[in-house]
Amino acid sequence: QVQLVESGGGLVQAGGSLRLSCAASGSIDSINAMGWYRQAPGKQRELVALIPKGGSTNYADSVKGRFTGSRDYAKNTVYLQMNSLKLEDTAVYYCYANRYASSGLLYASWGQGTQVTVSS
């Protein structure tokens, strides 16, 4: 089991920046990919950024050039640097981690979620 604890959410003006952090504990060595999802009011949860272990970050088209995801393996932590924030970035942001069992079944772990609100 992997536990994920997030921090860094809050209220920010459009055009501003915010940095989210997520610290993992538990079965750290079993983690493959880590990343971030978000869910805006009235919308489905969507992938924001995903980082496979030892690989480069994959981004949703809507955040490319504005958001940067990164991992610090020594600290068991994943980050999301959000720049040039827009009103439509307002959402609950969830830290994510996954692993594959020997059966091939994917197991996902989720953080508690942190609110990001972008104001005009």
Residue 42, pLDDT > 90, answer yes
Taking only the tens place, the pLDDT of each residue in 84-109 is: 999 999 999 999 999 887 888 889 99
* Banded pLDDT at 36 (limits 50, 70, 90): very high
User: In whole angstroms, what separates CA 8 from the centre of its chain?
Assistant: 11
CB 68 within 8 A of CB 101: no
Euclidean distance between CA atoms 117 and 92, whole angstroms: 8
What's the whole-number mean pLDDT along residues 19-42?
94
